Amino acid sequence: MSSRKRKPTFVLVIPRFEDIFHSYYAGEIVRGVSLSASRLNADFLIHIVDRTNHQGWLDSTLMDINYIDGIIFADIDNDISVVKKAIQRGMPCMVLNNILDEPMNYIAVDNHAAARNVVDHLIKLGHTQIATVAGDISTQAGLRRLDGYHEALQAKNIQVPRTYVTFGEFLRTPARAAAKKLLKLKERPTAVFAASDVMALEVLDEAREMGIRVPDDLSVIGFDDNPLSTTGSVKLTTVSQPLMEMGRLGAENLYLISRGKVKLPLKMVLPTKLVKRQSASSVGAAAKQ
């Protein structure tokens, strides 16, 4: 008699970080997976793992195909070897938020193109002094958003000082420190691209405390379209990405993969959209009034 459970059971692996239970990214991925779990009548176990030590991500109980039907990696911190290890054990896998050259299943957005689009928009508004608060570059999202920022500036032959590149790690406290550093520069930037809305909101708060008006004196653009981006006095211009849809599609396609009903590898890139609100305007907007 097979020991396989009758009810399909999958694991959602999420790297642990500060404020994970308040994270918009993690919350939306879990919501999407949960929607699919109900529709598929499947169980999903959430496995929160260490960000820095990946060796413990895949213990023996996770790798038993008699009990686990597949694994969704909410992110892999650029560690493809973790996924390879699971695949070698015959475990169906789905990676979210990473575009991979390897023959692996993934559902992601093009973070590089989305970041370029943000900077291109700021350049069209007349900005050349454009700084960034980058995310955690151990993640593909953080690294590619930073690369997109650099590439957009290079394409227009715009050179910015090294001090314009700061790191907020997708977290509030480092982002606040990065914002302070940028806004106290002698040659203060006229625009800041923050690689997440949480970090962009820290830039807005710091600007307000320093008496810098947004968007008259400073334009700020975030990334995520977190509901928090519309709650302040200045509504945040940002990049909308379909995170819940990413989780939903990840779960549904992993279910089909586990039953051999999908041609492999499955590679899916979902669209992003620049959402224009109040926090970005043409350079020197206040002087023109």
16-47 pLDDT per residue, tens? 876 777 889 999 999 999 999 999 999 999 99
- CA-based nearest residue to 148, from 227, 221, 246: 221
Q: Is the pLDDT of residue 204 over 80?
A: yes
Q: Is the pLDDT of residue 4 over 70?
A: no
Which numeric CATH code is attached to 9-109+241-271? 3.40.50.2300
CA atoms within 13 Å, Cβ hemisphere of 54: 14
Q: Do domains 9-109+241-271 and 111-240+275-288 have the same CATH topology?
A: yes
**Mean of per-residue pLDDT scores for the chain:** 93
Q: Residue 285: what pLDDT?
A: 59
The domain covering 111-240+275-288 belongs, at the CATH homologous superfamily level, to: Response regulator (3.40.50.2300)
Q: Residue 23: what pLDDT?
A: 86
Q: Which pLDDT tens digit goes with each residue over 75-98?
A: 998 899 999 999 999 999 999 999
> What does DSSP say about strands 70-73 and 93-96: parallel, antiparallel, or unpaired?
parallel
Q: Residue 6: what pLDDT?
A: 66
Q: Which residues pair with 95 in a beta bridge?
A: 73, 106
On whether the CB atoms of residues 215 and 285 are closer than 8 A, the answer is: yes
Residue spans per domain, the chain: 9-109+241-271, 111-240+275-288
Q: What is the pTM of this model?
A: 0.92
Q: Is the pLDDT of residue 186 over 50?
A: yes
